[in-house]
Amino acid sequence: MTGQKIWTSLAMWSQWMILLVRTDSDAPKHLGITCLLVRMDTAGITVKPIKEMNGGAMFAEVFFEDVHVPLANRLGAEGQGWDVTKDALANERSSIGDVWALKHRLEGLKELAQRCRRRGRRAIEDPGIRQRLARMETQVEAMRLNGLRFLTKQLRGEPLGAETSINKLIRARVEIESGRLARDIEGTYGVLARKSPYAITTANGSA
């Protein structure tokens, strides 16, 4: 592979990556694609973090220059990479690990609502805020139960279908709503920069 560039997350910490490469240029669209397992320390691979507005770098550019991958690193048969990817995504999207991260975020929002005031009273006493917190908790619990359903099917050796994308969709909605809810709980204080003397801090002391 020469002169190729892709954008990915977690590339700064991963030791391996899954790479889909076209090995048959004459095959139609999703066919002719092969899946490879590539070590991130392979000669010719360069990872350049993409710095975000908040100073973080969750994504990176990965450059390939004359990269050679052993045939033994092929995952599945040649030209069957799309089938391998569909199976991998179906197994990955149980989102069980994401559920606990969202639960932790939900607890943080509850704690924030206990400390912030809205219309002269604690935000947690606002019916609208309480309703949104309850809705989010219900969605996270639905994700957990769906994830267990998918896990049970995996343990039984049953095939997973498009239903595994449900948790992916719910997760995206919950993440968006959690940001909006935090903004509404904090009110105008939420626009203050980190380390501002009036910025609202979380339980661990960060802004």
Q: Using the CB atoms, write b or e for 150-176: b if 16+ within 10 Å.
A: beebeeeeeebeeebebbeebbeebee
Planar angle of CA 14, 8, 59, nearest 5 degrees? 90
- The separation between CA 134 and the C-alpha centre of its own chain, rounded to angstroms, equals 23
In angstroms, the CA 22 to CA 35 distance is 9
Q: Residue 62: name the closest of 81, 35, 40, 85 by CA.
A: 40
Check if 137 is active-site. Answer: no
Q: Which residue among the candidates 92, 107, 158, 175 is catalytic per the annotation?
A: 92
Helices (H), the chain: 81-92, 96-115, 127-155, 165-186
Catalytic positions: 92
